[in-house]
């Protein structure tokens, strides 16, 4: 029996405008079921195949996530996952499958130097390190001491040695004078895409918060671009469903910051193009090259990912 999900009327109205009444019902049904639990096997410490066999012997059922080779959906509750010895040893990281999309879009390579400007608690930082095979360097920055503690703990638990953790206001980081070829900017957001895992967001959501965050996100993007080399790549992402935090920010990046959008594809992922208009606002046509997913598309968190290039 599915639980009853209570939704603010203002939130419901927006989702109906985005999806239509019928598909909004599919969204609610998915949220009531909750998202699929997912782990990313940490190949810096263990062999992927051996770890899969080890977990299956315990009776866990694993299903491959098509867009990242070390990711698996598991039919185990979060408490069991987090209290397992394999988690404590850093053999896997509990991470929503959609959260893995921004590092995939960034395409980190061995020996590169990458900036993760809003890094804590480290899901994407540790994934980037894994993709780089612990080579090169990642500057993982955040401005919350509580979240930085979680970031440092995750970096250490997963055996990552190519990461420098910094404590700095992301709006001021450019003043260090450092330049990067690749930047990950997974910004603070309303988190409305996470409702599939956290119903409390329905109660806390407000349009005022969304608009305030949109202004902050544009400021973060402007600051991040100052750290980006010419021909450099910046991946902008949120776990929000709100156009003000997603397409509107990308439109700002194109029109005000002179960035170009590079199309990104993900293997086996159901996704939609970025919106080109919302509530009377017309966005640049290239905003459609961004990737937008809703929770009911893949039974993951909703996410927005856009790859931007500085020409």
197-215 b/e with 16+ CB inside 10 Å = b?
bebebbeebeeeebeebbe
Mean pLDDT per block of 10 residues along the chain (311 residues) reads 71 95 95 94 98 96 98 95 97 98 98 98 98 98 95 98 98 97 98 93 93 98 98 98 98 98 96 96 98 97 98 91
For 182, half-sphere exposure in the C-beta direction (CA atoms, 13 angstrom radius) is: 21
Predicted confidence at residue 203, as pLDDT, reads: 87
Domains annotated for the chain, with CATH where assigned, are 97-310 (3.40.50.150)
Predicted confidence at residue 212, as pLDDT, reads: 98
Residue numbers annotated as active site? 239
Q: Which of 297, 289, 275, 310 is nearest to 105 (CA)?
A: 289
139, 114 in Cβ contact below 8 A? yes
Question: Which residue is listed with tokens 């329905």?
Answer: 202
Predicted confidence at residue 4, as pLDDT, reads: 65
Alpha carbon distance 255, 178 (integer Å): 25
What is the Rg, in whole angstroms, of the alpha carbon atoms belonging to the chain? Answer: 19
Predicted confidence at residue 3, as pLDDT, reads: 54
């Amino acid at each position: 029996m599915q639980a009853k999900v209570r939704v603010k009327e203002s939130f419901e109205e927006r989702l109906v405008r985005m999806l239509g009444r019928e598909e909004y019902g599919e969204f609610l049904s998915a949220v009531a079921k909750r998202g699929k639990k997912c782990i990313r096997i940490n190949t810096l410490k263990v062999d992927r195949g051996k770890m899969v066999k080890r977990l299956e012997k315990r009776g866990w059922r694993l299903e491959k996530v098509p867009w990242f080779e070390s990711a698996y959906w598991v039919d185990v509750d979060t408490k069991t996952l987090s209290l397992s010895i394999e988690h404590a040893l850093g053999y896997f990281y509990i991470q929503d499958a959609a959260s893995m999309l921004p590092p995939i879009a960034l395409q980190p390579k061995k020996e590169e130097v990458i900036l993760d400007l809003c890094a804590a608690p480290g899901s994407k930082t540790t994934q980037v390190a894994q993709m780089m095979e612990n080579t090169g360097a990642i500057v993982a920055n955040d401005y919350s001491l509580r979240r930085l503690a979680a970031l440092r703990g995750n970096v250490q638990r997963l055996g990552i040695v190519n990461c420098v953790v910094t404590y700095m206001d992301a709006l001021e980081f450019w003043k260090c004078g450092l330049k990067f070829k690749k930047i990950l900017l997974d910004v603070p957001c309303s988190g409305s895409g996470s409702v599939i895992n956290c119903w409390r967001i329905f109660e806390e959501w407000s349009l005022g918060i969304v608009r305030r965050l949109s202004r902050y996100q544009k400021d973060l993007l402007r600051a991040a671009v100052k750290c980006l080399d010419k021909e450099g790549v910046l991946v902008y992402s949120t776990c929000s469903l709100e156009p003000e935090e997603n397409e509107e920010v990308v439109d700002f990046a194109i029109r005000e910051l002179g960035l170009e959008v590079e199309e990104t594809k993900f293997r086996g992922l159901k996704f939609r193009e970025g919106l080109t208009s919302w509530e009377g606002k017309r966005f640049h046509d290239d905003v459609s090259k961004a990737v937008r997913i809703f929770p009911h598309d893949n039974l993951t968190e909703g996410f927005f990912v856009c790859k931007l290039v500085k020409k």
